[in-house]
Structure formats: C-alpha cells, structure tokens
Chains A and B, each alone.
Chain A
Amino acid sequence: MEFGPHLMLAILEGAVGASVLALTALGLSLVFGVMRVVNVAHGEFFMLGAVVAWFVANSIAGHPAIGFLAALAIAPLIAGAVAMLVDRLILKNVAYDPEATIVGTIGVLYILQQSALMIYGPEARPVEPPFSHRIALPWVEWGENGLAFFYPWGLSITSYKLFVIVAAIAILLAFWLVMSRTRLGLIMRATQMDRETALAFGIPVQRVYSIVFGFGAALAALAAVLIVPIQQAHYLMGHDPLLLSFIVVIIGGLGSVRGTIVAALLIGMSDGIISVFLSPTLSKIIATLLVALVLVFRPQGLFGKKMA
C-alpha cells in the first residue's frame, strides 16, 4: 500500500482506539476529579467488562446482536456493583487516604485479575460482533489522466468499527448531559468543587463517592464491551488501558473532563499512527516518558489550568 492510503488506514484505526480510550480515561478522570484518589484497578474493571460480555454473549442464543446488547447493559452494571463494593469495603475504611488507596487498589487489581484467571481461564476469546460489513474506502490520486478515483487494495474498515466511534461519541454526549443537566451531575460537581461545603449542604458525600467510583468503573466496562468484538477478552487485557488512561488523564490535566477527551484523541490517534509506521513499543516508550516529564514540569497537565 502507498503512503497516503496507509496513513488514512492508520488514522481510522487510531480513531477507533481513541474513542474507546476516551471512555476508559473519562472513568479514571471522573474518579480522580471528584474523589481525589487514583484507582489503579481501573484497567481490571475494563477487563471485567470484556469478560462479562463474553459470558453474556455466550449464554444467550440467537442473533449475536441480542447477546451484544445484553452485554452492553449487564457488563457495566456488574463492574459498577463490584466497584461500589470495593469503595464500601476498602476505600471508605482507609478514609480515602491517597497513598493507602493506591496500595489498596493495587491489591484489588491482582484480586480481580487472578479471579478472572481462575474463573474465565487463560485463553483469549472473541465475542462475535453484532454486525460486520467490510466497507472499502476510495482514494483519489493524480494519475496520467488527471484525477483518478479508485479503491486501493487493503484500504477498508468494518461497519462495526465505525459503530464503535459513533457509539463512543454518543456515550460522551450522554455523559456530558448527565454532568451538566441533571441533579446527579450537579451533586457530583458540587462534591468535586468543595467536599466540606457539599457536606454542609446535606449532600451525602459518602454515597456520592460510591456512585462516582461505580460510575467510573462502569464507563471502563462499557468501553470494553465496545472493543471486545475487535480485540479479544483476556484476563491480562486491563494492563494497557490502565497505562494509556493514566497517560491521558495526566496529559489532559488531572480531573479535567475536557482535557481528558482532547488528550484521549491526541494519545489514541498518535498511538495508532506511530504503532502502524514505527513500532507499538516505541510509541509507548515515547508516551510514558512524555507523561513522566509532563508530571514533573507541568503538573497541571498540558491543557489544565494551574491549581492554586
């Protein structure tokens, strides 16, 4: 394939990755923004979503779309419920101390991951996409006879991948509506701004924390259900989303929703493009070093405002 079509393919693949990453990172960002804690087990809630999706899709007979829709509803609920349990049993009891929370959620990471290994097994298993049509994409080029219009071999995308991008945008919009237009969103924003005052105004901060922690995990699980027909469900699959979400949340500015989404696009796209042209490992080395240096020299993130 020539450079132009190859680049376009890389951009499309990057966009699929970026939209799933935006959802996952948004969950991490929300939890950090409202609760001021880092959830190291976030990637495992992603994995949980994928694994639950596999179980659901395989226990429902009939057209794959039915199983997929069921998974889309059930996986985030289960991941959210597990996360709320973690919040009640662990985070609440260490009083949301930042360091204790990190150590505790590292423990949760291993517990979830290894439980998945015991129950689900070490295999990687696919979930059948609800629909999947190969869509060949056109390319234009100056040829001998002027502008030529043709379909280069290999330049194609599946309808399901386009659906992932659209679905992610829809979920992001819904998230924005919830945060800005509903009472629940108002309460979450109030808790984020000033925990003490929110408490004084009768907001049940403890319950808000549980809901936010569950909500964050549910977003990761939702992202996983979307991606699992393209990737496969595996008990170690939580590692990369966790790392990339960290990178996104830090570069976007800790706790800033807009920054998170911009950074997810930037990181997801560049990860996709660099992976295609150079090497996936090299792109990750660049990203991790970039994050470390951003945290050292610009702790408010590339897009965040300086905190007082």
Chain B
Amino acid sequence: MNLDARSVALHLGLIAVLIVLGFVLPTYHQGNLARILVLATYAVGYNVLFGYTGLLSLGHAMFFAAGMYGCGMAMHLGGLTVIPAFVIGLICAAALSAVVALLALRTIGVAFMIVTLMFAQSVYLTALYLGEWTGGDEGFVIAQATRQIAGYALTEPLTRYFAALTLFAVALLITARMMQMSFGRVLIGVRENEERTRMLGYDVFRHKLGAVIISGTIAGAAGAGYAVLFGYVGATFASVQYSIFPLLWVLLGGMGTTIGPLIGVAFMFYLIDYASGVTNAYMLIAGAALVLLTLFARAGIVGEIRNRWVPWLP
C-alpha cells in the first residue's frame, strides 16, 4: 500500500471502530464518547493551525464560542431549526476568524500568542457584558423540543452519538485530505521554514490566512455542535481555560498528526473525569501534564509512536 492509501485505511478504520463502539458501549461511556468526539473536532481544528502551520494560538475559545453562541442564539432567540442555526454558527466563526487573522497575522511568535489571547479575552468579556441576551455567566439552555433534525431527536443518546461522530468524521477527513493536497504541504513548509517557503514563491500570508479561517471554522463547528447536542450555551466555553484545553489536547495527542487530537482529548477527558472524583482541584492534572509534555515529550503520544515504531503515521 502506498502512503496515501494507508492513511485512508487508517482513518476509515478509526471511524468504523467508533461506529461499533457506539453500539457496544454502556450508556455512560457512550455519552462521554459523544462529548469527546465533539471536543476532538475542536482539537482537530486547533491542530490545523498549531500542529501543521506552527502558529500557537492562545485564543481558540473565541472561535468555539462564536460557533456556539451563533448557533445557540439563532435557536434560542431566533427560533431557527438546527440546520440553519448550525450554518449561522459556522458563518459567525468563519467571519470572526477572518477578522482576527487579518489583524493577528501581522504579528509573529509570542506577540501572535498574546494578540489571540487578548482578542479571545475581549470576546469572553463581551459575552458577559451582553448578559441580557447571552445569559452571561449562567448561560442558557436550548429547549429540548427544538433539538431535532427531521424528526430525529438529538437528545436521544444513540442519535446524539452518531451526530457527534458525523461531525468528527467530516472534520477528520477534510483535514486529512487537506494535508495531502498542495495547500496543506505548503502549511507544513511554513511551519518548518517560513522564509524558505516564501523564497520558493508561495504566498505565505494567504496560506496562513486560510489556515486560521479553516481552523477557526472547524472550532466553530465543534462549538455549534456542542450547543445543539448538549443543549447548553455559556460563557465558560469562551474563557481562557477553553483556549488552553485544545493546546493541551493536541500537545498530548501529538501535534501535526491526524488522529492525535482524538487520542489527546479521550486521554485527558478520562483523566480529568477520574481526578474530579478524587479532588476538586482536578485542573492540577492539566497543569502537570502541560509541564511534563513541555519537558519530556514534545511530540505527544501519537508523535512518539510515529518517531519510534510507525514512521508512516499521517
């Protein structure tokens, strides 16, 4: 098998396993996995920018929140059904990421990280400030009856699981395909050596702009999906913590790998789930993981596997 065929087989195999898991897992873990899949979609989006393009954003929660509020408020206040509301969420995230990209991409390195952090912080504060419509800190709940597509209730566990899986699978396949095309190759070129890529005649700015918009829109899709599937929209999802999470997930799973984001989310989700049963200071785990990853395993789980045993992993 050549490289591309192998990676297609890997991704389709992964999706097949996830389909089977949907039927065999007990309800509790099935619910968890649905949540993991939506968050992994968020991580897949983050990975496009951080893992492949080499741009470290500390503000992705604003794109997640843009999708979430765009979709949630369209349903809650606008009375739209799921599909059009979801599209509105996507448009919100895409528009926000385009604006942020045009400004933030004028900076590089540490300045880029801080600019994205500040933009995300102002989005978070705006969500609090407009509490009359957004519900502020408390957020709002989307009515159960409206959360259905063509008669299929998204509140029903198995339907919800497959909706989450569809969202994740689409994001995974789109990014995997993108990285095989020349656009994705140029992004990796930008990550490895921006100057040389520019010298070779590629328009680096336009590729970075594309990366931010694709990354932000996928993150927004995850946010909109979260609102629809779990029925809650709140400012917590716009806070700094939700900008740090995707960084942690992608670092843990393996930056610049297609399946790393899912592995990272699943690992961290169960670790935090377990830790929160023991202590209320469960974020300690996240802190320790970040420090240990920085010190000892920059490549993450899938990255280490690729470095040691399976060099063809996409």
Interface centre among B56, B279, B287 (most CB of A within 10 A): B287
B295 touches which of A104, A243, A282 (Cβ 8 Å) = A104
Contact A285–B110 (Cβ < 8 Å):
no
Q: Does A117 lie within 8 Å of B281, measured CB to CB?
A: yes
For the complex, give the distance between the alpha carbons of A297 and B110 in Å: 15
**Residues A110 and B115 in contact in the complex (CB < 8 Å), given A103-B251, A285-B125, A285-B126:** no
Q: Are A281 and B279 in contact (CB under 8 A)?
A: no
With a CB–CB cut-off of 8 A, which chain B residues contact A247? 118
B114 at the interface (CB under 8 A from A): yes
Q: Contact check: which of A98, A281, A289 meets B110 at CB < 8 Å?
A: A98
Give the contacting residue for A115; candidates B122, B284, B289; CB below 8 A: B284
Q: Does B113 contact A (CB under 8 A)?
A: yes
A111 at the interface (CB under 8 A from B): yes
Interface residues of A in 108-139 (CB under 8 A from B): 108-115, 117-118, 122
> Could you say which residues of chain B place their CB within 8 Å of the CB of A98?
109-110
The residue from B280, B287, B293, B298 contacting A122, defined by CB atoms under 8 A apart: B280
Set of chain A residues within 8 Å of B118, measured between Cβ atoms: 246-247, 288-289, 291-292, 295
8 Å CB contact of A292 from B115, B280, B282, B284: B115
When the two chains form their complex, are residues B103 and A292 in contact, meaning their CB atoms are under 8 A apart? yes
The count of residues in chain B whose C-beta lies closer than 8 Å to any C-beta of chain A is 42
The closest CB in chain A to the CB of B116 belongs to A292
User: Which of A99, A107, A115, A282 contacts B291, CB < 8 Å?
Assistant: A107
Complex Cα gap A113–B290 (Å): 14
B106 within 8 A of A: yes
Known: A107-B286, A285-B126. 14 other contacts (CB 8 A): A38-B113, A90-B295, A93-B295, A99-B113, A100-B294, A102-B58, A106-B287, A111-B287, A112-B287, A118-B279, A284-B125, A289-B118, A292-B104, A295-B107
Residues on B lying within 8 angstroms of A by beta carbon are: 56, 58, 103-104, 106-107, 109-111, 113-115, 117-119, 121-122, 125-126, 128-129, 240, 244, 247, 251, 279-284, 286-295, 298
10 nearest A-B pairs in the assembled complex, by CB-CB distance? A110-B287, A107-B290, A107-B291, A114-B284, A111-B287, A114-B281, A292-B118, A104-B294, A288-B122, A117-B281
